[in-house]
Amino acid sequence: MSDLICSAVSCIYNINGVLCSARNVHIGIKGISNNIEDTDCETYLNRNLKNTLTSIVNTNLIGEVKQIVSSNEIEMSPQVICDAKQCTYNSGDLCVAKRVQIYGLKCEDSRCTKCEVFVSKS
């Protein structure tokens, strides 16, 4: 499982603009040209009451508890399922990168997010 950091503060799973509290994250790919700009986090959910309830089923509660007692390590990294087959770190639709970094600063929806670690196989 990859360590994951994410700057999408407007996502309901985001903690302090750094950590992701989701159990599973799905990285999608838009369009046909595979590059960083075409990736997005499809697990992104805007912060509102409806999504608070929706997000509960995918929240990494055990990771959150571990994170509280371990402030130096990333303990709540999600499993990252990824559609970007052209990425070097994609192995059977799972991400095997040691650390995944999701961009989401100032994003208001998932389309604005992207995986900054994407490296094309070609």
Distance CA 20, CA 2 (A): 12
One symbol per residue from 13 to 52: x for binding ligand SF4 (CB under 6 A), - otherwise; what is it?
Answer: xx-----x-x--x-x-----------x-x-xx--------
- Which phi and psi (to 5°) does residue 36 adopt? -55, -45
Residue type at 10 in one-letter notation:
S
Between 18 and 65, whose beta carbon lies closer to ligand SF4? 18
Query: Which structure tokens are listed for 101?
Result: 């970094």
Residue 113 interacts with ligand SF4 (CB under 6 A): yes or no: yes
Among 38, 63, 75, 84, binds ligand SF4 (CB under 6 A): 84
State the SS3 of 104-120. Answer: CCCCCCHHHCEECCCCE
Closer CB to ligand SF4, residue 68 or residue 111?
Answer: 111
Number of residues lying near ligand SF4 (CB under 6 A)? 28
